[in-house]
Amino acid sequence: MPQFYLPGPWETQKPNVLTPELAHHLRVRRIQPGEFFPIFDGKGQVAQAKLLSLGNKSGEAELSDIRLDTHRESPYAITLAQGLAGGDKMDWVVEKAIETGAQVIAPLQCERSVIKLTRSSDAERAHKRLLHWEGIVQAACEQCDRTVLATVEPIQNFESYLQKTQKARLKLLLSPDTDRSLYSVLIDSPPQDIILMIGPEGGHSPEEEAQAKSSGYQIVSLGDRVLRTETAGIVAITAVHSIWGPEMQNRLK
């Protein structure tokens, strides 16, 4: 059975009220009063919930075995700075980034982005997109058993993002127009917080690559083949885990 999201704070001495969304999920799964189901609060806490009652829009559950469980989170934080892509590509990117272990997703309005959502007149559309992506994050965490909800930052301009102070010191922009490989940088760097910057359809413009480089980004490649924007970030995240994961680190010692 998949886990279900129930935001905290949780009650330990009395029944917890279910959100309308969770009540709907339980009805769809045909979970009956008296049955148990796993829950998480999005901040690392998990518990077993016993369904006490279930109505059309709400219900109550009793919690037990409350504990902290973050073993599926990597010790280094991966930020995917993704250029806005058209159609439903961004939905796919958000979902797969969560499944592969990104902790932060930063949607960026780039020069070659098909959609434009950073003008003041686009504020309502941009907010709806953000809420939509947050819903995808929740659903993806439920599916892959992550217990900490990743952060989706508000849509921002490429230039504005470069000006932000970042915790991560290792910042990589993925480009097919360089001979320096992502692998070579990762293998020579200890595991640490990292930003992976991916362009939209058509990639970053030469001007954007130059701006990123002057802001401390290294320009690296995923190999000889040119990947789609919705593929590149997922491949890069997977590469980070493959090289920085415990098994590989033990081999390198």
Structure-token pair, residue 211: 């701006």
Domains of the chain: 4-68 (2.40.240.20), 78-252 (3.40.1280.10)
Q: What is the CA radius of gyration of the chain?
A: 20
Instruction: Let me know the angle formed at the C-alpha of 77 by 75 and 81, rounded to the nearest 5 degrees.
Output: 160
Picking from 114, 76, 107, the residue whose alpha carbon sits closest to that of residue 246 is 76
Instruction: Let me know the angle formed at the C-alpha of 215 by 214 and 217, rounded to the nearest 5 degrees.
Output: 90
pLDDT of 93 reads: 97
pLDDT of 250 reads: 53
16: β partners: 61
Low-confidence ranges of the chain (pLDDT < 70): 118, 121, 247-253
Instruction: Match 């339980």 to its residue by tokens.
Output: 26
d(CA 204, CA 220): 13
Number of helical H runs and strand E runs in the chain? 8, 12
